[in-house]
Amino acid sequence: MTLDDLKEEIGTRLLAKAGLTALVGSKIYLGVAANESQIPDVVWDMGGTERVNKQRDDGGRKANFTVTVYAETWSAANAIAQLVEDEFVNGTGEF
């Protein structure tokens, strides 16, 4: 899987998460929100990748991505962030 494939997969999965889209609609952006975007929305970005095991060249890589949530209140932002975390951190986010 290339970095571009991974970015596409993350975006697709965020947009497919029914609970998330119920709260933010399609306002899920890579890199920067649209100029006219109204909160709540989600902006995510990904840094580069690095080899997982530098002793072997088996293609293993790790990548980090950051998700920023904008909402009217902390509790609303927290609810949105929890949905993202559930998708990628709590065991359901295998690629």
**Cα–Cα distance for residue pair 42/69, rounded to 1 Å:** 5
The model carries a pTM of 0.76
When pLDDT is cut at 50, 70 and 90, the band that residue 1 belongs to is: low
Range 61-71 average pLDDT: 83
Contact 10, 65 (CB under 8 A): yes
Range 41-68 average pLDDT: 71
pLDDT of 92 higher than 60: no
